[in-house]
Amino acid sequence: MKYTQLGKTDLNVSRICLGCWQLSPSFWGEVPLDPWVESVKTALDCGVNFIDTADAYGDGYAEEQLGLLMKREGLRDKFVLATKFFWKFTEPSGRHPDTTHDYILQACEDSLRRLQTDHIDLYQIHSWDAITRPDEVARAFNTLKTQGKVRWFGVSNLNPEQMELYGKHFEVSCLQPPYNLLDRTIETRELPYCLSKNIGVINFSPLFRGLLGGRYKADSTIEGKRANGPLFHGEGLKIMIKAIDEAKVIAAEHDLTMAQLAMRWTLTNPAITSAITGVKKPEHILGTVKAADDVLSHKVWYQVANLFTQAKAKALAAG
């Protein structure tokens, strides 16, 4: 495993980060716990020292399960622990965004309790809240930092203007955006901004929620809510599988699987610190970990990028 510094922080993180969103039954369906627990331990054995969760995953369930596991196995100190807040899900009326001062302090206490720890290494705002002033967010962050409950702060799903605004009030250490062969939106603005400011970038969905894992066929029924996406069923899926079959040939020429090629493709971008992959069983992490060993050549990177850009356009037009 290779390690790198997360932006301007003192956190030395593995280039692959383990994501815990899979413990969110409303999106992924029921994921059995035992294989998930084994996958976290396997990731550690493979050198992964970075784990990402959120209070919203399973409305606290993912944090709770991670907390139980870390406590039982004494794993807390082995991980750089990242979590997020934003969605107030504790009200019976349903969830809504909240980044007000008092709510942040409460959300952090709740996450610390569920995670069974006294500090979070990277505390991230899950998305942009249009109706709370950045200085109010910063006031809560100052308190948490002074109390030693949080070490560094990050943001997720934000554009450069939003990061710039927050950056006037607190240090934005890290951005967590989507980035993969089928979603390259951040290449134009967010990645150059983060490079210029030395803000770490930890991209989510490097395998496009599993589609780029290479295990599906044109007639597969893909489980979970992701199946609603236009590339996950019907004509869109057929076109994607054709592109994936072509990419598998390129991957094999470089002694890689499709999942490793897709993951290595994101890690080749110099703005990317770490790619966050989601796992349900040990085979998932064992199957991708090799991606972090090296980067792709310019030729292969653009070859694969073009293949998927064209396939996506065709698939969306067909849908």
Residue 288 interacting with ligand NAP (CB under 6 A): yes
* Three-state DSSP state, 170: coil
| CB contact at 8 A, 18 and 53 | no
How far apart are alpha carbons 300 and 109 in whole angstroms? 46
Whichever of 140 and 276 has its CB closer to ligand NAP, that residue is 276
Q: Give the active site residue among 57, 103, 166, 193.
A: 57
Stretch that binds ligand NAP, among 104-112, 164-172, 205-213, 291-299 (CB under 6 A): 205-213
Residue 279 interacting with ligand NAP (CB under 6 A): yes
Interacting residue with ligand NAP among 123, 204, 265, 308 (CB under 6 A):
204
DSSP string, 7-70: TTSS-EEESEEEE-TTS-HHHH----HHHHHHHHHHHHHTT--EEE--TTTTTTHHHHHHHHHH
Least Å distance between CB 181 and ligand NAP? 10
Whichever of 58 and 206 has its CB closer to ligand NAP, that residue is 206
Whichever of 252 and 317 has its CB closer to ligand NAP, that residue is 252
57 is an active site residue: yes
Residue 156 interacting with ligand NAP (CB under 6 A): yes
Within residues 94-113, the interface with ligand NAP by CB under 6 A covers none
Those residues whose C-beta lies under 8 Å from the C-beta of residue 66, and which sit 6 or more positions away, are: 20, 23, 40, 51, 53, 115
How far apart are alpha carbons 71 and 75 in whole angstroms? 7
Site string for ligand NAP, 217-256 (x = CB under 6 A): ----------------------------------------
The residue whose two tokens read 């292969």 is 300
Whichever of 170 and 204 has its CB closer to ligand NAP, that residue is 204
- Give how many residues touch ligand NAP by CB under 6 A: 28
Those residues whose C-beta lies under 8 Å from the C-beta of residue 98, and which sit 6 or more positions away, are: 86, 87, 88, 107, 129, 132
DSSP string, 71-110: HHHT-GGGSEEEEEE-EE--STT--EE---HHHHHHHHHH
Residue 272 interacting with ligand NAP (CB under 6 A): no
Whichever of 241 and 279 has its CB closer to ligand NAP, that residue is 279
Within residues 47-66, the interface with ligand NAP by CB under 6 A covers 52
Alpha-carbon distance values, 67 to 109, 133, 267 (Å): 13, 32, 29
Residue 210 interacting with ligand NAP (CB under 6 A): yes
Interacting residue with ligand NAP among 39, 117, 173, 277 (CB under 6 A):
277
Catalogue the active-site residues.
Answer: 57
Sites of contact with ligand NAP (CB under 6 A): 19-22, 52, 126, 156-157, 176, 204-210, 213-215, 259, 276-280, 284, 287-288
